[in-house]
């Protein structure tokens, strides 16, 4: 496993790097306390991960040694909510799972993370989602094989919710038409809709009509628009509805753009231990920064710092960064 977090190394980087990197002369605003009356609703996939730390990611027809393993609950939306809940935001999650052992793990995690789940669809006929995650010990890179669960949300059970109770809705593109209808209702009641999109979804064009801020990895842009550059592909997604897009690019940092301007943030030079969930944390941190009213360049810096701190620790919920180390990192 890689060495622990070297704060001196990263802080020196904050002082001396330019062109989109962190600079002491251009600080991020103070990270305010989360407003207790700003409520965030999430709707998406939730799975139980079996995470195995391995010497090297296995090639086809090969074997590799497992150094350690554990179970954890994951999913783009619920991990972002767990981070925001840790920072004091009231959060709720809507998803599907069964009453099986995996479902019990999911409910225990939501309770410990202080995420309300009273509107979720829980039924014995559902199949809880699960995933196998291999994390390479020397680099923190990971490979994932996932079964996202079997079960469906019924809009008839959700359309009568008091949508004005929440200020924001966070999605991952799953649950198709239900997600689109939920986004439409949130917008109708004056809320913000954000989405962390990790893979192509069948009803994407309709859903994006109601999305304010979209996050996606550069690899997805290549899948959707193989003949376009990252910026050109991102602009194609902007044409579908979102007001802004953030593209996460791993070691190359992150790109933010809207229809008029763009910003680039270089990645922190860290030694990653576990990159699983880094994008989810980036999304949650971006949501916090957006709710604080910070400009795009400050949002990128804050989210990049949060994601970097998460990558320095092994695990999931226990690796979610507290606010104090983030503020220390940002100077």
Tell me, yes or no, whether 292 lies in a domain.
Answer: yes
- pLDDT value, residue 149: 81
Query: 82, 204 in Cβ contact below 8 A?
Result: no
Beta strands in 138-189 (DSSP E): 142-147, 168-171
Helix H or strand E encompassing 262: strand 262-265
Query: 161, 137 in Cβ contact below 8 A?
Result: no
- pLDDT value, residue 190: 96
- pLDDT value, residue 32: 59
Q: How far is CA 89 from CA 41, 78, 81, 186, 306, in A?
A: 10, 13, 8, 18, 17
- pLDDT value, residue 15: 28
Give Cβ neighbours of residue 256 (< 8 Å, ≥ 6 apart): 244, 245, 246, 247, 262, 263, 264, 265, 296, 297, 299, 300
Write out the residue range of the structural domain in which residue 198 sits: 9-21+31-330
Taking 70 as the pLDDT cut, the residues of the chain under it are: 1-34
Give Cβ neighbours of residue 294 (< 8 Å, ≥ 6 apart): 28, 29, 302
Q: How far is CA 3 from CA 9, 13, 32, 36, in A?
A: 12, 18, 31, 37
Smallest Cα–Cα separation from 207: which of 241, 234, 235, 232?
241
Q: Look at residue 316 and give its three-state secondary structure.
A: coil
Helix H or strand E encompassing 195: strand 192-196
Residue reference for tokens 């910003």: 263
pTM higher than 0.95 for the full model?
A: no
Tell me, yes or no, whether 78 lies in a domain.
Answer: yes
Tell me, yes or no, whether 187 lies in a domain.
Answer: yes
CA-CA distance, 250 to 85, in Å (whole number)? 25
Tell me, yes or no, whether 26 lies in a domain.
Answer: no
Q: How far is CA 39 from CA 46, 117, 218, 291, 314, in A?
A: 20, 13, 30, 11, 29
Tell me, yes or no, whether 4 lies in a domain.
Answer: no
User: 49-68: b or e for each residue (b if 16 or more CB lie within 10 Å)?
Assistant: bebbbbeeeeeeeeeeeeee
Q: Based on C-alpha coordinates, what's the Rg of the chain?
A: 19
Tell me, yes or no, whether 300 lies in a domain.
Answer: yes
Return the DSSP state at 19: T
Tell me, yes or no, whether 265 lies in a domain.
Answer: yes
Tell me, yes or no, whether 260 lies in a domain.
Answer: yes
Residue 174 main-chain phi, psi, to 5 deg: -80, 170
Q: Look at residue 238 and give its three-state secondary structure.
A: helix
Report the number of distinct structural domains present in the chain.
1
- Specify the CATH number for the domain of residue 285: 3.40.1190.20
- pLDDT value, residue 2: 33
């Amino acid at each position: 496993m890689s060495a622990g977090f070297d704060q001196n190394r990263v802080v020196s980087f904050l002082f001396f790097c330019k062109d989109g990197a962190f600079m002491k002369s251009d600080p991020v605003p103070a990270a305010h306390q989360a407003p207790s009356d700003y409520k965030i609703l999430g709707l998406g996939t939730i799975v139980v991960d079996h995470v195995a730390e391995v010497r090297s990611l296995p090639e086809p027809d090969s074997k590799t040694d497992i150094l350690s393993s554990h179970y954890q609950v994951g999913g783009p939306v619920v991990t972002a909510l767990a981070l925001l809940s840790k920072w004091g935001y009231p959060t709720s999650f809507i998803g599907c799972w069964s009453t099986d052992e995996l479902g019990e793990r999911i409910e225990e995690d939501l309770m410990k993370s202080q995420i309300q789940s009273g509107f979720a669809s829980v039924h014995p006929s559902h199949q809880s989602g699960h995933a196998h995650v291999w994390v390479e010990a020397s680099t923190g890179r990971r490979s994932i094989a996932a079964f996202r669960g079997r079960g469906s949300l019924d809009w008839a059970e959700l359309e009568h919710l008091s949508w004005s109770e929440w200020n924001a809705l966070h999605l991952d593109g799953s649950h198709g038409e239900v997600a689109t209808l939920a986004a439409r209702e949130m917008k109708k009641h004056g809320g913000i809709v954000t989405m962390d999109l990790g893979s192509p979804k069948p009803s994407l064009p309709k859903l994006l009509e109601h999305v304010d801020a979209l996050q996606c990895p550069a690899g997805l842009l290549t899948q959707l628009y193989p003949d376009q550059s990252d910026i050109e592909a991102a602009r194609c997604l902007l044409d579908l509805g979102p007001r802004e897009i953030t593209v996460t690019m791993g070691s190359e940092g992150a790109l933010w753009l809207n229809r008029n301007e763009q910003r680039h943030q270089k990645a922190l030079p860290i030694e990653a231990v576990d990159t699983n969930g880094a994008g989810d944390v980036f999304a949650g941190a971006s949501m916090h920064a957006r709710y604080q009213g910070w400009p795009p360049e400050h949002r990128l810096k804050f989210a990049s710092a949060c994601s970097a701190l998460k990558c320095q620790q092994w695990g999931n919920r226990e690796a979610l960064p507290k606010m104090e180390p983030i503020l220390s990192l940002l100077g």
